[in-house]
Structure 1
């Protein structure tokens, strides 16, 4: 028989039972909400995956996987133009120029004129009956007539018409007779034809190599280019016989001699020129030709911004120019490996929209001027996503590119007056 409890003992027993149930319930609830080790690991992995995804969204990898681009410019370093420039004629030039004649003499110095006279007289004695040696003044007069013929756009005009009493120009017969002009034309040479066996195999420019190198090397000594310079190709119209004559369908003249030119944007002064003689038969295929041309033309310069088209522009060139204290602004071909895929997909892009990508020292922009058209530019000068507020909403990179790119094209227009002189110079390379 169970013992009976008085009232106090019964109350104590009930309270003890209630506390025991409360502790048991508390333990069960604690076990239900405390995460185990597996749950903690799973949560940590999800956070890492989320962080990795955010990092990938903030960094775009180039097609070759070597360059990381960011859609924002926060980590891009500021651009500081190097060195103080003093553009314009050099002290050497200003000290020697007092008239148009002295300017001509500076470009065609005595050693050049002596070289032309020597080999022209040598050839004249061999090939022209009753040859009379060309003197200094007569050679200058002959070259002046060639420049005037270019000024009058008479490269396709017969020589007889220039001396004609009705259709001609008075200055031509007043300077020299047509017969004498044609004699000099026939005898004009820049080297000894008999003493250059096999020169074409070694150098296609053999007949004019010495003259060209002496003349073109003088150009940088007369003028200091400004902050903005431009590299591009120029076509000197020419349809005569020449082994390195080029066909360029986009140029007005179509046929001629291709010259790489570095020009000052402000004045279109040709600071350095390089003739393209075509592919070498003996040498291996030239790699990164555009890059090498720019590095050759800009050798000795620093503190400038070089504008160029997509034949030359590349990220390795931009890095090399930056090491030389120069900036680059240029269009890019769509197949360049340094481009991130995010700039190439324009399927759902709006017209006149721009997408930027930045590295530490460079900026890329993709601009859609019209549907299905993607314009790509690279710049180491611009470091912010600046876009004009009105009009076609072009990025500042494109505005600066358009402002500077026309320097060589303007040189084409200006230099038409001396194309007649260059055409004669290249004509003799066939001999």
Structure 2
């Protein structure tokens, strides 16, 4: 410390050849480090081969005009200068080819096309056969079809809109529980069978954990790859993007389950998302599967932001993220690929100036800013002390909250908007298989994104006034079902009485037992059109356990079976 103080007393006489050589070596080291990052193939997510992230990040012009070189060679200073922030000029919004009169299910099909349901039907039938080879034939199972899979997904979506505590409630004959729309599609036994065997991929040759090709998400990998590419292709986001984490609630057994006590959903699978700040449209996502072998060169937060935003590099996007992800090195490297950031940052992060790292502001509204090239570090005292690091903001020299704080608050909630829309009408029922929760997550997120694309697209005729997310979701479910039913007769109705015959060999099995619950209308009295003195149907507390038909104990039981005896 004493040496540095004594050196400051000397008059500056210019740079020596050794100083210039050292600066050149540092610059070359930074360039090599960036090349290693750009050429790194170990990405957590798949990126299209034609992605702009593979483009050369070198810009035309002299080195003196390169803002990143200023970041490398400059030192932190309290002298603030205006930043050069290029304009965002990319085309934004929907990029699909749907007609203006397309149905809402066509928008949903932009993300989950017919091929997804074809594959689901094939894999479900395959898995049912594999299981029956182990456990024996299942007399209640019959092969499914793509149309039935679409109807099944439609039912799952509607169950999120009409939430009931038990699955059997949807098929209950009690009008307080029963739902004729859902129960009319298929019987409960068929729905449960589909639920038992539903599958997305053949797991008979799944690599083991010791295999170099092991993928923790093997069971859903084709679905995740399909949907993530569709998200990026169908809609081009605006300039401002937010990066944050989302949680898929799950308390079962899976090795990458996370516990986050400060979150509303404390247990579950963590998903990194990048969403458009204005609408909440999810443009890319990646499921977190735990630590990677060999560790991470720059830390988890750096890798998440760099990898998940690769498709948006070199387009002058502005990213917003919180202090978990933020670092000086990440801001420098993103600046090299024309991607600019604004986020909170921990005071003890490497690379921050000592004045910011040790700042202890006492008065509300007190502000400390320092600049290094295009980077601005801001420490501001509001209700508590906040620290920001940005390359997308100009230095603040006015009164009130700094612009980095205001813009962060305005644009950081993109992922929260998407989560909020998903949480209104959850898709899927609770279960033990973790991969199904990812399936429900993808279906739900696809509906949310489809609704955003729908609202941003030209339509003729225009939707009715007040046509919101709920109405869109219900229409998607109805059009997925598309009138499909595997019932031979309407739910709640029995086969015609003329077809209900009593075989002589089953006579010993017909006996009366008491009905549990309220009385029911006697079948024989109803056929004979007998009524009470007040004109009401005659009710009974007994039923035939073999026929499952309510009958009066005196006379009706014998008369019913005698009349329907097979001769």
Residue in structure 2 matching 1:238, options 247, 250, 254 = 250
- Please report how far the alpha carbon of residue 111 of structure 1 lies from its aligned counterpart in structure 2 after TM superposition: 2.3
- Please report how far the alpha carbon of residue 242 of structure 1 lies from its aligned counterpart in structure 2 after TM superposition: 2.5
- Please report how far the alpha carbon of residue 67 of structure 1 lies from its aligned counterpart in structure 2 after TM superposition: 6.4
Residue in structure 2 matching 1:403, options 396, 400, 410 = 410
| Distance in 2 (alpha carbons) for counterparts of 1:355 and 1:51 | 29
Structure with greater proportional helix content: 1
| Distance in 2 (alpha carbons) for counterparts of 1:96 and 1:286 | 47
* 1:25 counterpart residue number: none
- Please report how far the alpha carbon of residue 268 of structure 1 lies from its aligned counterpart in structure 2 after TM superposition: 0.6
Aligned pairs, number? 360
| Distance in 2 (alpha carbons) for counterparts of 1:104 and 1:144 | 12
Question: 1:48–1:257: structure 2 CA closer, same or farther, 3 Å change rule?
Answer: closer
> Is 1:247 the counterpart of 2:267 in the alignment?
no
* 1:412 counterpart residue number: 419
Residue in structure 2 matching 1:68, options 75, 83, 90 = 75
Contact 1:358 1:383 in 2 (8 A): no
| Distance in 1 (alpha carbons) for counterparts of 2:238 and 2:430 | 30
Contact 1:366 1:374 in 2 (8 A): yes
| Distance in 2 (alpha carbons) for counterparts of 1:215 and 1:418 | 20
| Distance in 1 (alpha carbons) for counterparts of 2:232 and 2:419 | 19
Question: 1:152–1:333: structure 2 CA closer, same or farther, 3 Å change rule?
Answer: farther
Residue in structure 2 matching 1:297, options 300, 304, 308 = 308
Q: Name stretches of at least 5 consecutive residues in structure 1 with no aligned partner.
A: 1-45, 53-64
Contact 1:234 1:259 in 2 (8 A): yes
Question: 1:51–1:419: structure 2 CA closer, same or farther, 3 Å change rule?
Answer: farther
* 2:102 counterpart residue number: 98
- Please report how far the alpha carbon of residue 148 of structure 1 lies from its aligned counterpart in structure 2 after TM superposition: 2.2
Question: 1:429–1:256: structure 2 CA closer, same or farther, 3 Å change rule?
Answer: closer
Q: Name stretches of at least 5 consecutive residues in structure 2 with no aligned partner.
A: 1-5, 13-71, 133-137, 439-567
> Is 1:349 the counterpart of 2:356 in the alignment?
no
- Please report how far the alpha carbon of residue 151 of structure 1 lies from its aligned counterpart in structure 2 after TM superposition: 3.2
* 2:139 counterpart residue number: 129
* 2:352 counterpart residue number: 339
Length-normalised TM-score, structure 2: 0.59
* 2:185 counterpart residue number: 175
- Please report how far the alpha carbon of residue 97 of structure 1 lies from its aligned counterpart in structure 2 after TM superposition: 7.7
Contact 1:96 1:102 in 2 (8 A): no
RMSD: 2.8
> Is 1:285 the counterpart of 2:295 in the alignment?
yes
Larger Rg: 1
Question: 1:187–1:395: structure 2 CA closer, same or farther, 3 Å change rule?
Answer: same
Contact 2:271 2:286 in 1 (8 A): yes
* 1:225 counterpart residue number: 237
| Distance in 1 (alpha carbons) for counterparts of 2:282 and 2:74 | 35
| Distance in 1 (alpha carbons) for counterparts of 2:112 and 2:271 | 20
Contact 1:219 1:271 in 2 (8 A): yes
1:75-117: CA deviation from partner (whole Å, max 9, x where unpaired): x543222x41222111x35459811111122221122222211
- Please report how far the alpha carbon of residue 362 of structure 1 lies from its aligned counterpart in structure 2 after TM superposition: 1.2
| Distance in 1 (alpha carbons) for counterparts of 2:360 and 2:322 | 25
User: How is 1:201-212 mapped onto 2 (pairs within 5 angstroms)?
Assistant: 202-212=214-224
Length-normalised TM-score, structure 1: 0.76
| Distance in 1 (alpha carbons) for counterparts of 2:101 and 2:333 | 37
1:309-338: CA deviation from partner (whole Å, max 9, x where unpaired): 111111111122112111101110121012
DSSP 3-state at the match of 1:318 = helix
Contact 1:199 1:206 in 2 (8 A): no
| Distance in 1 (alpha carbons) for counterparts of 2:375 and 2:112 | 42
> Is 1:108 the counterpart of 2:135 in the alignment?
no
